[in-house]
A and B are shown apart, each in its own frame.
Chain A
């Protein structure tokens, strides 16, 4: 029996460089604390898998893998940012006692099962049929199968996915109780509301007197500070400088003539 799964030359080099990196990234994905780092490592695993696919003459699968999974991981990334928080990291306390040993046992079991199954399927056998499958070109071969023999499952899966996407939209959608005011309506209401102070837009922060920092309220023409010129976020944080020191009455305006 000749040595199994012989890969020579460049492909072997590719495999022995990328495979350890891929496995390391997969382990890192589980072990790093920050959720964003996890997502990044996941993207790297997907890309290395795509490179392996391309190296094994499945060019279409490889490229589609990159297109689909980079988009998917990007979504994951956005979920992390929007639902979990920008710099969230996992807390390592066990919320349910005994969860960790159970999880590790289950993971090792599943891994062992997969390895043994794949080993049985591949070890000691010569891979055959690749030349026949790719005889009319990789893409053409796939297309011929997808649109003849497997056209029904293909369509069913696509219908399922569309239903899922529509369902997500229906669940996330909410009806406005009143229509959104247009820019024109907003402009009219600015002029017709109680005060004309905001009609020309709010004053910018800190553009008068001696400071031009964003945390200094603007001074109105009569010398009073305009609290509406400061961003609400800064106010909520308490990062606002007391503007009384810049008020016109308090500014020393005496002129000392030089002799």
Chain B
């Protein structure tokens, strides 16, 4: 583990500086991504978006932030004061903490010290991110409960059910990565992908499941049922204003960046360049890897915005059904396949066995999907008994109309 040994001899001041940098990067990225999101969504809706404050409207998000901070801070009379204040703090803190294990660059020279831009390298780094994410949900649930109001409570409950179900799918999608890389440390996974291909290609089903569940995990459209402005006003943050609301806002965007960074690390080769451009990693004394990392993170962020601009919100029961009846079983089966393939390849069986196994799996999947489609067709072909026609005049159904009178003359309406 090259990264771990590089991190181990960091003096205290470098660690402090790195923590500060991670914090500042997260905040600046949040401000810029709010601006970016508004511009991109505007473009998708054929609008212009914020373009007045600063060049291209770049300072708009900052101005909005200042406005938000200067608003009146209200605590509802029915609220549970302590919990009401703690909730946004939990949310924001947890969002920032996830970034500690993300490897942002390869080995670089940092003020004369050879190190990597990663705060710490835990042997269980990815699990740590999952753990922090599950703590972060407490912020949302507690905000919903402590507001002492109906809509926030509904939003909080939705969010807890949502995150619990989608965290399972997310955790299962990571198992295949662990099996393939043989490690749960973020930097080791990045290294392992350098030796084979990116896991986004090798473990494509895992990548898809992770990408879906990361949207569910961050409460973003089309899975933003916890705030659902059409149904629940603002969901869990209905009663929040001023800086406390700003903390939730910050937490949401830092979370998006964090899950995007995790997706980059686990599936898109982390800070490494895309294959074929490996020579760029040496530019700027290795600092160019930071640019590669953020290009990939911003790619995921763009997908988030794209989803928000395109898809309507899911109905709650459909959303739950999708998580439990599609994502979780599919990822369980996929893990079985991956584990078997892994055993076959590590016990150095011949290629024929590997391909034979893969062929059988494909055949089984095809068979199941055909059977499923047949049963689906059968189900839809069941004829519902027609309810009796009412005793008042109703227009005839299109299927019952046999003749259409088309007036040939100018008509009697004159």
Contacts and interface: CB of A to CB of B under 8 A. Distances in A.
Interface of A: 34, 36-37, 40, 43, 47, 50, 59-60, 63-64, 66-67, 70-71, 74, 77-78, 81, 86-87, 137-139, 185, 188-189, 191-194, 196
Nearest to B78: A87
Per DSSP, chain B at the interface is helix
Interface in B115-171: 122-124, 127-128, 130-132, 134-135, 137-138, 141-142, 145, 148, 153, 157, 160-161, 164, 167
Contacts of A81: 145, 153, 157
B118 to A, nearest CB: 16
Interface string B179-211: 000001000000000000000000000000000
B128 A63 contact: yes
Contacts of A37: 83
B13 interface: no
Contacts of B157: 78, 81
B404 interface: no
Interface in B65-123: 80, 83, 122-123
A196 B142 CA distance: 44
B279 interface: no
B384 interface: yes
Contacts of A78: 157, 160-161
Contact of B135 (A47, A185, A188): A47
B387 interface: yes
A63 B171 CA distance: 13
Given A67-B127, A71-B164, A74-B164, A59 B134 contact: no
Contacts, number: 76
A192 B145 contact: no
A73 to B, nearest CB: 8
B123 A138 contact: yes
A194 B142 CA distance: 46
A188 B387 contact: yes
Contact of B83 (A40, A74, A139, A185): A40
Contacts of B123: 59-60, 137-139
B178 to A, nearest CB: 10
13 contacts: A36-B80, A63-B122, A63-B128, A63-B131, A66-B135, A70-B131, A77-B160, A78-B157, A81-B153, A139-B123, A192-B388, A194-B390, A196-B392
B360 interface: no
A139 B184 contact: yes
Interface string B380-397: 000010011110101000
A185 B384 contact: yes
B8 to A, nearest CB: 14
Contact of A36 (B127, B145, B394): B145
